[in-house]
Amino acid sequence: MPQVRRELSENIRNVARNLTTSSIRPTVDELDQSRSFPHAHLTALGDAGLFGIAAPPTLGGQMADARSFVGVVEEISRAAPSTALVYTAVLSSCLPLMRHGSEKQKSEFVPKIALGEWKCGVAISTHPGGDQMNGDVIASREGDRFRLDGAIQYVIGAHGLDSFLVRADVKGEGGGPSLFLVRHHDAGFQRGGMDRRLGLASAGIGELRFENCVIGPERVIGGIGKGVEGNRAAQEYLLLGVSAMALGMAQECFDTAVRLLRETQNEYTSTELALIRQNVAGMQTRISAMRAIADLAAFHEDTDPPGIPYPTYRGRIFCLESALEVAASALQLAGGKGFSEEAMIERMLRDARVLAIILSTTEQLKDALGEFIIRGE
């Protein structure tokens, strides 16, 4: 990577790190307990220019790269996985607009997201073939406009974001799916569902419902039946973001466990300490491997080659499995302190467990990856 890109990426990570310390970490537990959407966190991220890292300067951004995105998500996740997930969804909404929108759509919509004015999420398929959804929205043509009806479950930021890229098939027309940009004030658009959940309590996960929701052609991204590539671009950024989240959560759990161990190491026998050292070294080795594999996935996203995104899928599989392992080991190492004093490890364990089933489960991704490998694709 050229030196100048690396420096930009490091600078952006530092901005995210400082912001996390000053504005995000202090309010995380309160938001998690009240299951409140992190509006203030998103405002702070917008003020710091961090929604603009995928967009070029001409569209209100700073044209960084996927590596910078990974750095920002990792830093936020060390304190607030729910906020990091919502941030990931917003960044992912930029990709289809930038890569597949018309010139008019790009110049009108991308700056609004990049400058933090609009907080746009995605309701797309995240399954490897891109052909399954949790729910269904159908678009019916009405003159040159489209009426959306149906619902999609498990949408990140459903309760909190103000716009969504929604994937829908147009009734009676061939071709692929289409991507519609829906705004919160559009008539016939509603949010609902999912009041209680296992983890990621502040991510506003819920359902989007459409009933007679009419959208004009100017908000069909890339044209009717042309949503496959946009879906793919957003899907891959979501999976990359989730890998970065896993990395940040594992690093935070590890650092906390080591800090607690330093305070208590005099209480252990030399045999116990030998076992602990093995464990600590294994955890750190795994985190290094996660970092390397997430870096490869980011590089893949920046070059955006056609075909199966193997590095992105592998990154998601490995990072999530590793995060669960590291978080569990951290809790074990921290012992009673991990249980009683460090609410963070408990929250990370919950959030990491849920991450492994969202946006396609680890098993579904492995199944698809294995199939691609055997078919020789």
Site residues (vs ligand FAD, CB under 6 A):
125-127, 133-134, 154, 156, 205, 357-361, 363-364, 367
User: What minimum distance in Å lies between the beta carbon of 33 and ligand FAD?
Assistant: 19
User: What minimum distance in Å lies between the beta carbon of 153 and ligand FAD?
Assistant: 7
| Closer residue to ligand FAD, CB minimum distance, 155 or 345 | 155
Tokens of 202: 């502040």
**Nearest 5°: phi and psi at 167?**
-90, 130
| Closer residue to ligand FAD, CB minimum distance, 17 or 127 | 127
**Nearest 5°: phi and psi at 26?**
-60, -20
| Start-to-end CA span in the chain (Å) | 28
| Closer residue to ligand FAD, CB minimum distance, 107 or 361 | 361
User: What minimum distance in Å lies between the beta carbon of 69 and ligand FAD?
Assistant: 17
User: What minimum distance in Å lies between the beta carbon of 372 and ligand FAD?
Assistant: 13
Task: DSSP for 151-167, please give it.
Answer: EEEEETTTTT-SEEEEE
- The sign one gets for the Cα dihedral 94, 95, 99, 100 is negative
**Planar angle of CA 344, 92, 211, nearest 5 degrees:** 100
Q: Is residue 213 within 8 Å of residue 147, measured between CB atoms? A: yes
| Closer residue to ligand FAD, CB minimum distance, 15 or 89 | 89
Tokens of 306: 């056609």
**Nearest 5°: phi and psi at 93?**
-70, -25
| Closer residue to ligand FAD, CB minimum distance, 125 or 312 | 125
Tokens of 63: 């044209």
Tokens of 206: 């819920």
Residue 249's Cβ-count burial label (10 Å; 0-12, 13-18, 19+) is buried
User: What minimum distance in Å lies between the beta carbon of 357 and ligand FAD?
Assistant: 6
| Closer residue to ligand FAD, CB minimum distance, 224 or 358 | 358
Tokens of 251: 């690093």
User: What minimum distance in Å lies between the beta carbon of 333 and ligand FAD?
Assistant: 28
User: What minimum distance in Å lies between the beta carbon of 366 and ligand FAD?
Assistant: 7
| Closer residue to ligand FAD, CB minimum distance, 20 or 126 | 126
